[in-house]
Amino acid sequence: MRVEKGLLYTKDHDWVKVEGNVVTVGLADYAQDHLGDIVYVELPEVDDEVEAGDSLASVESVKAASDINAPVSGKVIEVNELLDDEPGEINKDCYAAWVCKIEMSNPAELEELTNDADYEASL
């Protein structure tokens, strides 16, 4: 499994890239590999208010469906609309095919996430 350096990870195998007060969220390689061929992504809406741990998006594959939970609380400010037409982009390069961006309301919640080295060791 590929673990991208410099990112944070959730216990549910999602990745989080922090840029100032904005986080970009996507599905980690471990998750996309275990799901198999992804055929549908339900994206959140721009301006949705989310709480850490709430369902943010869902991903369906030929094997199963899985929720992506919000890693932090805040407001969705952008979604990757490419995934509406090309959900399989997550299988091609899960670290390039991000799902959404959230403007954080509580950056302290980042402390609940795992750094890349600890995440890799947990796999």
Q: What CATH number does residue 43 fall under? A: 2.40.50.100
Number of domains in the chain: 1
Q: Beta strand 14-19 with 65-69: parallel, antiparallel or unpaired?
A: unpaired
DSSP secondary structure, the chain, as one string: ----TT-EE-TTSEEEEEETTEEEEEE-HHHHHHH-SEEEEEPPPTT-EE-TTSEEEEEEESS-EEEEE-SS-EEEEEE-THHHH-TTHHHH-TTTS--EEEEES-GGGGGGSEEHHHHHHH-
Q: Tell whether 45 is covered by a domain.
A: yes
**Which amino acid belongs to residue 108?**
A
Task: State the pLDDT at residue 66.
Answer: 94
Q: Tell whether 120 is covered by a domain.
A: no
Q: Tell whether 119 is covered by a domain.
A: no
Q: Tell whether 3 is covered by a domain.
A: no
**pLDDT, averaged in runs of 10, over the chain (123 residues):** 97 97 98 97 98 97 95 98 98 98 98 98 96
Task: State the pLDDT at residue 77.
Answer: 98
Q: Tell whether 104 is covered by a domain.
A: yes
Per the structure, the complete domain to which residue 15 belongs is given by 8-108
Q: Tell whether 77 is covered by a domain.
A: yes
Q: Tell whether 71 is covered by a domain.
A: yes
Task: State the pLDDT at residue 6.
Answer: 98
Q: Tell whether 14 is covered by a domain.
A: yes
Task: State the pLDDT at residue 53.
Answer: 97
Task: State the pLDDT at residue 101.
Answer: 98
